[in-house]
Amino acid sequence: MKQLLIQNERLSRQIDFLIEIDRLKHVLRRTYLPGSDRHENSAEHSWHLALAALVLAEHSAAPVDVGHVLRLALVHDIVEIDAGDTFFYDATGGLDKAEREQRAADRLYGLLPPDQAAELRALWDEFEDRATPEAQLAYALDRFMPLLHNYLTEGRPWRQHGVGHEQVAAMTDHIAGGAAEVAALARALVADAQARGYFDPARNESNGA
Amino acid sequence: MKQLLIQNERLSRQIDFLIEIDRLKHVLRRTYLPGSDRHENSAEHSWHLALAALVLAEHSAAPVDVGHVLRLALVHDIVEIDAGDTFFYDATGGLDKAEREQRAADRLYGLLPPDQAAELRALWDEFEDRATPEAQLAYALDRFMPLLHNYLTEGRPWRQHGVGHEQVAAMTDHIAGGAAEVAALARALVADAQARGYFDPARNESNGA
C-alpha cells in the first residue's frame, strides 16, 4: 500500500493497519449469499456476526458485556488476510491452521502502535480461547451464522464440499455452549435440511431464494 | 425470505431481521476497493468503519464510550437496504434522502421485537442527529473512510461523478467536529490528491494499487 507520509507516527500506524485490513473484503468463505451466486467475504460476514451478537445477546448462556462481544466479532477473522479462511469441516486445512494464524496475527496486529497491537491481539486470543462468556457467545454465533446461510442456500456448500448431515448435526454442540436456544434452532434447521434433501449429493445445484 | 417456522416468536423476529439485513451486502457504494475493480458494499464498509472507530477512538474531540460508537457504526447504513446508498455529493438524491430513509427504518427495524426495534432505531436516530460525542465520532469517520478509499484509488469516483477539489476540501469540515487530527490528515490527502491530478477530468482511469 501507498505511503501516506503522515507526520504523526502513531496515527500513521493506525491508518496503515486500517488500509491493510481492507483486504479482508477479498477473502472468500465457502458460504453463498442467499439469492445470489456470490460467495460471502469475511469482512461482510464479520459485520453480520456483530449484528447477530447485538440482536441475540439475550440468549447468551451467561451475562455478557455486549460491547465486548462486538469487539470480538469485529476482529475475529482479520488473521484470514494472511492465513486464508479455513472451512470448519476441512480436517487437512485444520492441521496447520493455528500456526498460520499465529504468524498472521503477529504481522497484522504488529502494524498498530504497540499498545493497540497488544489490545487487539488479546481480543483475538480471547475469541480463540473461548474462556469468557463473551467469547463463548461470539463463537457460538460464528458457528450459527454459516449454518443459517447454508440452510437458506439449500445446502449448496455442504454438497460441494462433501459435508454430511452427521457432521453438521455434531457441529451444533459448539453453539449450545454459548446460546442454548440458538442451538435448538440450529438443530431444527439441520433436521429440516436433512428432510428436504439438502445433504443429498444427487440434488441439483440451486441457490435458494 | 423463507419462513423458518420458529416456535419462539421473539427469536423468530430476531432471525427474520438478521436474514433481511443480509441484503446490505448487495448495496454498492461509489467507492472502489484499492487494487481491484470492485465497488465496496455497505456491509463491508460498516465493518471497516467499526474497526476505524475501535482504532481511532483516541482522536475523538470528546471522550466516548467505544462500544457505543461500534453500535452506531454497525447499524448506520442498514436503511440503505430499502433507500439505497446516496452519494455524499449527490444534491438531487439528497433531496428526498431523509424521507426514503425514515420509511426504510420503519420497515427494517420493525421486523425486530418492539423493544429491540426501538433500541436499534434510536441508535440510527442518534447517528443521524450527531448530537452525542459518539455520533460525532462515528459520523466523522464515516466521512473520512471513503476519502481514504478514493485517495487510494487515485480519485476514480470523484472523476466519475464530477466531484471537484473544493467540494471534497469543504467536506473535511464534517470530520473536524469529531476528530481534529483525522481532519488534518484528510486535508493533507485532499491537497496531495489535487497535486497529483486526481480531480483532473482528463486523467486516465486507474484504480491505484
Dump pLDDT digits (tens) for A80-90. 999 988 888 87
Report the percentage of chain A scoring pLDDT > 70: 95
The whole-angstrom distance between B201's CA and the closest CA on chain A is 22
Dump pLDDT digits (tens) for B120-144. 999 999 999 999 999 999 999 999 9
- Verify whether the Cβ–Cβ distance B55 to A208 is below 8 Å: no
CB A17 within 8 A of CB A11: no
Q: State the best of A7, A17, A18, A19 to mutate against chain B, taking most chain B CBs within 10 Å.
A: A18
Return the DSSP state at B23. G
How far apart (Å, rounded) are the C-alpha atoms in residues B13 and B18?
9
CB A199 within 8 A of CB A164: yes
Contacts of B189 in chain A (CB under 8 A): 4
How far apart (Å, rounded) are the C-alpha atoms in residues A184 and A206?
26
pLDDT given at position B4? 66
CA B92 to each of CA A11, B89, B95, B97, B110: distance values in angstroms, whole numbers, following the listed order: 36, 9, 5, 9, 28
Contacts of A70 in chain B (CB under 8 A): 50, 67, 70-71, 74
How far apart (Å, rounded) are the C-alpha atoms in residues A175 and A59?
11
CB B38 within 8 A of CB B158: no
Give the pLDDT of chain A (209 residues) as one tens digit per residue: 455 667 789 999 999 999 999 999 999 999 999 999 999 999 999 999 999 999 999 999 999 999 999 999 999 999 999 998 888 887 777 778 889 999 999 999 999 999 999 999 999 999 999 999 999 999 999 999 999 999 999 999 999 999 999 999 999 999 999 999 999 999 999 999 999 999 999 887 655 54
Q: Angle B133-152/B66-75 helices, nearest 10 degrees?
A: 60
For residues B98-114, give the mean pLDDT: 95
A and B: number of Cβ contacts within 8 A: 146
- Verify whether the Cβ–Cβ distance A4 to B43 is below 8 Å: no
ipTM of the complex: 0.95
CB atoms within 10 A of CB A111: 17
pLDDT given at position A209? 45
pTM, rounded to two decimals? 0.95
Q: Which three cell numbers stand for residue B131?
A: 448530537
Return the DSSP state at B4. -
Half-sphere exposure at residue B180, Cβ-oriented, CA atoms within 13 angstroms: 2
How far apart (Å, rounded) are the C-alpha atoms in residues A100 and A93?
10
